[in-house]
Structure 1
Amino acid sequence: MNLPCAFEDKMKELLAGEYPDYIACYEEPRYYGLRVNTNKITTEEFKKICPFDITPVPWIPNGFYYDGETVSPSKHPYYFAGLYYLQEPSAMTPASRLPVNPGEKVLDLCAAPGGKATELGAELCGTGVLAANDISSSRAKGLLKNVEVFGIGNMLILSEEPGRLSGYFPGYFDKILIDAPCSGEGMFRKDRKMVRAWEEHGPEFFSSIQKSIIVQAADMLRPGGMMMYSTCTFDGRENEQTVEHLLKNRPEFEIMDMEPYEGFSPGRPELSETHCPELVRTVRIFPHHMKGEGHYLALLKKNGSAAAEKSAVPGKRNGTVLPSELAEFMENVSWKLKESRIDIRGERIYYMPEGLPDLRGVRFLRTGLLLGELKKKRFEPSQALAMHLKKDDYKETLDFSAGDERVSRYLKGETLHLDDMVSDRSKGWYLVCVDGYPLGWGKLSQGTLKNKYLPGWRLC
Structure 2
Amino acid sequence: MIELPQSFKNKMESMLGGEYPAFLNDYQKPYYRGIRLNTLKCGERTLKASLPFSLEPTPFSPVSYYIPQDAQKVGSLPMHHAGAFYSQEPSAASAVTALNPVPGDRVLDLCAAPGGKSTQIAALLQGSGLLWSNEIVRSRANVLLSNLERTGVRNAVVSSCHPEALCSGLAGYFDKVLVDAPCSGEGMFRRDEQALQDWSQEHVEACAVRQLAILRSAAHALKENGVLVYSTCTFSPEENEEVVSAFLKERGDFALTDCGVPFGRPAFLPQARRVFPMDGGEGHFVAVMRRISGSSAYPAPYLPKKPSMMEMAEDLYRQVFKMELSSPVEQVGESFLILPRELPYLKGLGVIRAGVLLGEAKKNRMEPAHALFMSAKPQELNSVIDLPHDSEQIAAFLRGEEMESDPRCHGFTGVAVDGVLTGFGKCSGGRLKNRYPKGLRNH
Shift of 1:20: 1.0
Deviations 1:281-338, CA, capped at 9 Å, x for gaps: 11111112x121111100111113465979969x562328732353254254134323
Judged with a 3 Å threshold, the aligned counterparts in structure 2 of structure 1 residues 44 and 97 are, in CA distance, closer, same or farther, namely farther
Aligned counterparts of 1:75 and 1:189: Cα–Cα separation in 2: 24
What SS is found at the alignment partner of 2:199? helix
Aligned 1:24-103 pairs, distance under 5 A: 24-103=25-104
Judged with a 3 Å threshold, the aligned counterparts in structure 2 of structure 1 residues 366 and 308 are, in CA distance, closer, same or farther, namely closer
Q: Which amino acid aligns with 2:287?
A: A
Question: 8 Å contact 1:265–1:283 — kept in the other structure?
Answer: yes
Residue of structure 2 in register with 1:393 after alignment: 380
Aligned counterparts of 1:303 and 1:44: Cα–Cα separation in 2: 42
Question: 8 Å contact 2:159–2:352 — kept in the other structure?
Answer: yes
Judged with a 3 Å threshold, the aligned counterparts in structure 2 of structure 1 residues 310 and 56 are, in CA distance, closer, same or farther, namely closer
Judged with a 3 Å threshold, the aligned counterparts in structure 2 of structure 1 residues 384 and 332 are, in CA distance, closer, same or farther, namely closer
Judged with a 3 Å threshold, the aligned counterparts in structure 2 of structure 1 residues 146 and 292 are, in CA distance, closer, same or farther, namely same
Aligned counterparts of 2:202 and 2:179: Cα–Cα separation in 1: 20
Residue of 390, 396, 399 corresponding to 1:412: 399
Aligned 1:126-145 pairs, distance under 5 A: 126-145=127-146
Aligned counterparts of 1:352 and 1:195: Cα–Cα separation in 2: 42
Residue of structure 1 in register with 2:250 after alignment: 249
Q: Percent identity?
A: 37
Residue of 287, 292, 299 corresponding to 2:281: 292
**Is 1:265 aligned to residue 265 of structure 2?**
yes
Judged with a 3 Å threshold, the aligned counterparts in structure 2 of structure 1 residues 428 and 210 are, in CA distance, closer, same or farther, namely same
Shift of 1:141: 0.9
Aligned counterparts of 1:49 and 1:72: Cα–Cα separation in 2: 14
Shift of 1:66: 0.8
Q: Which amino acid aligns with 1:352?
A: L
Shifted more, 60-69 versus 185-194: the winner is 185-194
Shift of 1:125: 0.9
Deviations 1:207-261, CA, capped at 9 Å, x for gaps: 1000000010011111111111000111111001111122112111111112332
Deviations 1:141-193, CA, capped at 9 Å, x for gaps: 11111111010011111111101112210011111111100111111122232
Residue of structure 2 in register with 1:336 after alignment: 324
What SS is found at the alignment partner of 1:157? strand
Q: Give 5+ residue unaligned stretches, structure 2.
A: none
Judged with a 3 Å threshold, the aligned counterparts in structure 2 of structure 1 residues 162 and 311 are, in CA distance, closer, same or farther, namely closer
CA RMSD, aligned part only? 2.0
Question: 8 Å contact 1:329–1:379 — kept in the other structure?
Answer: no
Residue of 396, 406, 413 corresponding to 1:422: 406
What SS is found at the alignment partner of 2:96? helix
What SS is found at the alignment partner of 1:27? coil
**Is 1:304 aligned to residue 287 of structure 2?**
no
Shift of 1:376: 2.4
Judged with a 3 Å threshold, the aligned counterparts in structure 2 of structure 1 residues 28 and 316 are, in CA distance, closer, same or farther, namely closer
Shift of 1:362: 2.2
Question: 8 Å contact 1:129–1:155 — kept in the other structure?
Answer: yes
Residue of structure 2 in register with 1:280 after alignment: 270
**Is 1:458 aligned to residue 432 of structure 2?**
no
Question: 8 Å contact 2:82–2:421 — kept in the other structure?
Answer: yes
TM-score under structure 2 normalisation?
A: 0.95
Shift of 1:76: 0.8
Residue of structure 2 in register with 1:13 after alignment: 14
What SS is found at the alignment partner of 1:233? coil
Aligned counterparts of 1:452 and 1:157: Cα–Cα separation in 2: 24
Aligned length: 442
What SS is found at the alignment partner of 1:280? coil
Deviations 1:251-280, CA, capped at 9 Å, x for gaps: 11111112332x522121xxxxxxxxxx21
Q: Which amino acid aligns with 1:123?
A: L
Judged with a 3 Å threshold, the aligned counterparts in structure 2 of structure 1 residues 409 and 310 are, in CA distance, closer, same or farther, namely closer
**Is 1:448 aligned to residue 431 of structure 2?**
yes
Residue of structure 2 in register with 1:275 after alignment: none
Question: 8 Å contact 1:168–1:357 — kept in the other structure?
Answer: no
Shifted more, 21-30 versus 50-59: the winner is 50-59
Q: Which amino acid aligns with 1:294?
A: G
Residue of structure 1 in register with 2:314 after alignment: 326
What SS is found at the alignment partner of 2:3? coil
Shifted more, 123-132 versus 358-367: the winner is 358-367
Judged with a 3 Å threshold, the aligned counterparts in structure 2 of structure 1 residues 62 and 182 are, in CA distance, closer, same or farther, namely same
Judged with a 3 Å threshold, the aligned counterparts in structure 2 of structure 1 residues 415 and 396 are, in CA distance, closer, same or farther, namely same
Q: Which amino acid aligns with 2:340?
A: P
Aligned counterparts of 1:443 and 1:197: Cα–Cα separation in 2: 48
What SS is found at the alignment partner of 1:323? helix
Question: 8 Å contact 2:60–2:93 — kept in the other structure?
Answer: no
Judged with a 3 Å threshold, the aligned counterparts in structure 2 of structure 1 residues 308 and 243 are, in CA distance, closer, same or farther, namely closer
Deviations 1:124-149, CA, capped at 9 Å, x for gaps: 11121111111111111111111110
Judged with a 3 Å threshold, the aligned counterparts in structure 2 of structure 1 residues 400 and 45 are, in CA distance, closer, same or farther, namely closer
Question: 8 Å contact 1:325–1:378 — kept in the other structure?
Answer: no
Q: Give 5+ residue unaligned stretches, structure 1.
A: 269-278
Aligned counterparts of 2:295 and 2:165: Cα–Cα separation in 1: 22
Shift of 1:104: 1.5
TM-score under structure 1 normalisation?
A: 0.91
Question: 8 Å contact 1:228–1:297 — kept in the other structure?
Answer: yes
